[in-house]
Structure 1
Amino acid sequence: MEIRSYIPFPHFSFTRHDTHKRPVVVAVARATFSIRNGEVLRPTQEQKPVAARDGYYGEAGASSLLRPSDLAISKPRSDVFINALAHAPDGKPAPMWLAEARVGMLSQALKVFGKRAWRFDTEKGWLITDPKPTVVVPLRYENAYGGSYEHGGETIAFPHNPLGSGYVVPEHLAQDRTYKAHQIEAPGFPVTEPGQVVMPAGFGPVYADWRIPRPDDSPYASYNAAHPNMVYPGHLQGNEEVVLQNLTPDGRLDFRLPSYRMLVLVRYSDGGLLPAEMKLDTLAIDVPAMEVYATWRVVIAENVSVRVLEFRMEMDEAKSA
């Protein structure tokens, strides 16, 4: 299969079988953009390649997932990932504040706390202490609700986030000890007692085996790696406004996605032609790097063998100006 590219971005193609075990070709394009506050994203001079493997903050399995690979077969909806630190408003130490993100029609918030702990009170039982004022909290699942610990020779792990903090089975608590509590939770879903089952909150991707309920049960939904609250209602179209609040020291960061139409022109061995439009199904925002990584994808049936794939694009100049 010959690959021809008429786009300025890295691309990749691979063969798989669909849910009916039929051969398909998956075409992927990935663009890297720089963020400038108040502007439309612009491609960076140096483009990062298609990600062939998952990326982590540290060791795989022992640290949060930073970005999954780009080798999914298909995604029924767009994933939105945000790597960021939560910054207290005006840079002043605060015990609690909201970190907020809006991407087009998707809007989510996280309640962020300073360090706190579970402590036993003889009158009220187990309580979480008042958070200590702080200025920065990393938005990683290590700081969200969950965790794992050793007890009686076995590992006790919160199945929905074994990397987190704050989860302890009540029967395992010692009243003369304190236990680290989580610093990130979803507004309206507080943890009020030890051992409570509450889904972890976050803006980043989650491990597939964390057993967090997905937003739909379509055949390829398992390839959506974003937190369920960060899976877009459909696919991103381009030109969406992005607004981030309290994810930078300055408080507000806003920009707009460019309006690109990405497609693959498929030339089959029998002479047939098929223009296949690619879907923008992954948007990864890296606030510390001030970069955005966008991935487009399309699945092409191979009932007749594919002879040539041509990567092409169109741009709405008016919207991307």
Structure 2
Amino acid sequence: MEFVNHTPFPALAFEGIDQRGQGFHTVVLRQTFTWNDAGELVFADDQQPLCEADEFFDENLQGSVRQESDLCAYKPRCDVIVNATAYPPQPADGSVPERFEVRLSVMRPGTPVPIPARPHGLNPLMPASDEAMRIWQAEVERVKHADAQGERLIDKVLVVTGERRFVKLNGWTRAAAALLKIGTIGIVRFPYWRVTRPEPAQPVPIRLERAFGGECRIDADHSAAGKVPQKYRLTVEQTDAHPDVARPPVAHDAYPFNPVGQGYTRDWFLASADVRSVAATQIEYPSRPIGLDDFNRARRGKLDGGEWLVAGLGVRPKGHPERAKLVGTIDEAFIESNAALPKDFDFAVWNAAWPDQQVDALRGDELIRLVNLCAPDTPGVTRDTQGNAVLTLALPGHLPFLLVRFENGAIGELAARLDTLLIDLNRRQVSCVWRATLSKQPQVRMLEARMLSGDDALAVTTRMPTEQEEVAHG
């Protein structure tokens, strides 16, 4: 099968396979935009290549992921991923808040209300009455000034705080707390830890490192290695299976939903390493703030579940339990088989955005509104009455598609799907990744990547097939 790219954007054709062992063709194409001083998206001079391997913020390939590979075979939904730094609002009084909100909104523009037909008399050749004309003209003016009501696809709000910490109380205070507990027969308990008040907010990277999570690890060469109680030390089997085979730790525990975050710890680690202060979470959902109770339950090993304790706008890691289970059953029977994928494999594992940032589909003409997610002097940013920095971007409405030439001489058209929208505000880039899939039967002789723009693209989206069966039998 031959692939020809007639667009100026990087594109690639490759083969995929499903859970039943059936092969299919995949074509992926990536567009890179930037925006001008007016906030209008324009093609970037430097078109970014397809991302062929997961890219981390850290050059040592640790921590949170900036973007995942574009070379997955299929994504059932569209990811909207935002890499950004949160900046506190700048109100007119010059105050600096301890906490503030950031917001991501994605809206589909509405269809303009049609202009009402001009009225007439008893038949189309007779003029309408003055009263009918007056009513019609008033309705025309109302329609002209009416906002087209669109569909809100994503509206996500996070709360960002200044730096704060969980701090262990000093010896005298803890002694008083112990006496209070004894004197009240355990009815009244004084906390051994407290959370400090947030510092005035500073710019905060919206990354998993600032969200709730973390790990407790003590290596063999650490001064606290000999202080770890036996029950918390790794067994021989655990040591042999540890991913850090070159330097396995003596003891290791991590919050499975976000091992790179902050605020999660365990009592055995605090005591062994003599830790008296722990950085608290700086990014959280407004409906689920992280407090001292969460910290205490975590350190006692009683923190249940907690998927929604982790707040972010970027990539949800592949190791996240709710995402990892979509890989399917990897058992001995599968390992010994010749199957490419488990029978219960779910292609949704390739959707890298958080569930509340996944949508069924984007057309490519949506409006994106970002609040307090870029520096105040960023081109295109406006400021509202509360001092919030607001950036509104409109996708240009392009439609990449495939011209499919079959071995039997038939020709078909297949619209690509926009399945990844990556907004990198720190780099001033917006990337649109489009993907098209089609069956290998009937046999394909050539795939040609082409593109429609603007009104031409919107005009054909309602008629161009998007399912591989429609092309194969068209």
Distance 2:39 2:277 in 1: 47
1:236 aligns with 2:362: yes
Contact 1:25 1:301 survives alignment (8 Å): yes
For residue 31 of structure 1, what is the aligned residue in structure 2? 31
One-letter amino acid of the counterpart of residue 160, structure 1: F
Percent identity, aligned pairs only, is 31
For residue 119 of structure 1, what is the aligned residue in structure 2? 167
Residue from 157, 171, 178 that aligns with 1:109: 157
Distance 1:157 1:133 in 2: 30
Instruction: State the 1:299 CA deviation.
Output: 1.0
Instruction: State the 1:18 CA deviation.
Output: 1.8
Residue from 193, 198, 203 that aligns with 2:306: 198
1:183 aligns with 2:285: no
Instruction: State the 1:219 CA deviation.
Output: 3.1
Instruction: State the 1:38 CA deviation.
Output: 5.2
For residue 20 of structure 2, what is the aligned residue in structure 1? 20
For residue 331 of structure 2, what is the aligned residue in structure 1? none
Trace 1:38-57 onto structure 2 (pairs within 5 A). Answer: 39-57=39-57
Contact 1:38 1:255 survives alignment (8 Å): no
C-alpha distance 165-176 of structure 1, shift in aligned 2 (>3 A)? closer
1:145 aligns with 2:212: yes
Instruction: State the 1:37 CA deviation.
Output: 5.8
Greater helix content: 2
One-letter amino acid of the counterpart of residue 216, structure 2: Y
Bigger mean CA deviation after superposition, 117-126 or 160-169: 117-126
For residue 160 of structure 1, what is the aligned residue in structure 2? 257
Residue from 96, 99, 115 that aligns with 2:99: 96
Distance 2:443 2:456 in 1: 38
Distance 1:242 1:149 in 2: 39
Distance 1:102 1:230 in 2: 10
SS in 2 for 1:33: strand
One-letter amino acid of the counterpart of residue 5, structure 1: N
For residue 73 of structure 2, what is the aligned residue in structure 1? 73
Distance 1:244 1:281 in 2: 20
Distance 2:213 2:448 in 1: 46
Distance 1:218 1:41 in 2: 37
1:287 aligns with 2:425: yes
Instruction: State the 1:273 CA deviation.
Output: 2.2
Contact 2:64 2:260 survives alignment (8 Å): yes
Greater strand content: 1
Deviations 1:181-205 (A, max 9, x none): 1111111112232214433110000
Distance 1:286 1:223 in 2: 20
- Taking only aligned residues, the RMSD between alpha carbons, in angstroms, comes to 2.4
Bigger mean CA deviation after superposition, 171-180 or 108-117: 171-180
Distance 2:276 2:56 in 1: 32
Bigger mean CA deviation after superposition, 31-40 or 3-12: 31-40
Provide the TM-score with structure 1 as the length reference.
Answer: 0.91
Instruction: State the 1:170 CA deviation.
Output: 4.8
Contact 2:216 2:269 survives alignment (8 Å): no
Bigger mean CA deviation after superposition, 114-123 or 68-77: 114-123
Deviations 1:250-274 (A, max 9, x none): 2111110111122111112222323
Distance 1:168 1:284 in 2: 32
Instruction: State the 1:14 CA deviation.
Output: 0.7
* Rg (Cα) greater in structure: 2
C-alpha distance 211-24 of structure 1, shift in aligned 2 (>3 A)? same
One-letter amino acid of the counterpart of residue 306, structure 2: V
SS in 2 for 1:9: coil
C-alpha distance 303-80 of structure 1, shift in aligned 2 (>3 A)? same
For residue 232 of structure 2, what is the aligned residue in structure 1? none
Deviations 1:38-58 (A, max 9, x none): 544211122111111111101
For residue 11 of structure 1, what is the aligned residue in structure 2? 11
Residue from 394, 419, 424 that aligns with 1:256: 394
Deviations 1:111-159 (A, max 9, x none): 1111111124542343322111132011110000000012532111000
For residue 82 of structure 2, what is the aligned residue in structure 1? 82
Matched length: 318
